[in-house]
Amino acid sequence: MLEKRNYNKNKTIDLGDKMLNGQGAGKLATCRYGFFPMSYNGCEIIAACNFRRLIGSPVPLHEVAKEIYPYGNSFSGLFGTWPSALRRYFRDNNIKVKELTKYEDFKAEFSRGKYAVISFWNAHHIFKGLHTVAIENIPEGVKVYNRSNKTEIPVTYSKLDDYMDSGRFIRGYIAD
């Protein structure tokens, strides 16, 4: 089984207990998901892992990937993980979240929340792919984890609209 082989490889990679950023850099880039390195397709797995760290329920990346892969992979990881698969992952792990698919509803709810995961199109059309990140509401604005492939630190935006817009938003999960 592919996920078992990836699990055995990934569990030997020491990522430490910090938030994961820059999926295309350092040790994180050597982790695998499906037939590909996570630098190519691991954003949903990384976002779920970071989200769990934020809510105080950390689980190693290799465990998250192994659990989600059988029902969440999109064509053996060619297109990463279906964003809707995170709903099942959170439910199966008793993580209470509110799922929203309209950007304005998400923004309103997140303004009262602390932590979330969002999936969005990289551009205003699907041909540039999608990205998923964990975000945190902080006094300075919104902190984004795993902002991009090579950005190895979280990036803070003064407001969510500086990072996201309704034309790119797919769905979000806010911690209850």
* Class of domain 2-175 as given by CATH: alpha beta
- Residue-wise pLDDT for 104-125, tens only, equals 999 999 999 999 999 999 887 7
Which pLDDT does position 126 carry in this prediction? 76
Which pLDDT does position 1 carry in this prediction? 74
Which pLDDT does position 85 carry in this prediction? 95
Torsion angle of C-alpha atoms 102, 105, 109, 115, degrees rounded to 10: 20
Which pLDDT does position 105 carry in this prediction? 98
- Residue-wise pLDDT for 97-106, tens only, equals 999 999 999 9
Question: What is the chain's mean pLDDT, rounded?
Answer: 94
169 backbone dihedrals φ, ψ, rounded to 5°? -65, 135
Q: Where are the domains of the chain?
A: 2-175
Q: Which residues of 126-147 are buried (b: 16+ CB within 10 A; e: fewer)?
A: eeeebbbbbbbbeeeebbbbbb
Q: Which residues of 16-41 are buried (b: 16+ CB within 10 A; e: fewer)?
A: eeebbbbbbeeebbebbbbeebbbbb
Which pLDDT does position 138 carry in this prediction? 98
Instruction: Give the tokens for residue 82.
Output: 């279906």
pTM over 0.85: yes
pLDDT-based confidence at residue 51 (cuts at 50, 70, 90): very high
Of 113, 87, 115, 81, nearest in space to 101 by CA? 87
Query: In this structure, are residues 141 and 159 in contact, taking their beta carbons and an 8 Å threshold?
Result: yes
The whole-angstrom separation of Cα 72 and Cα 82 is 6
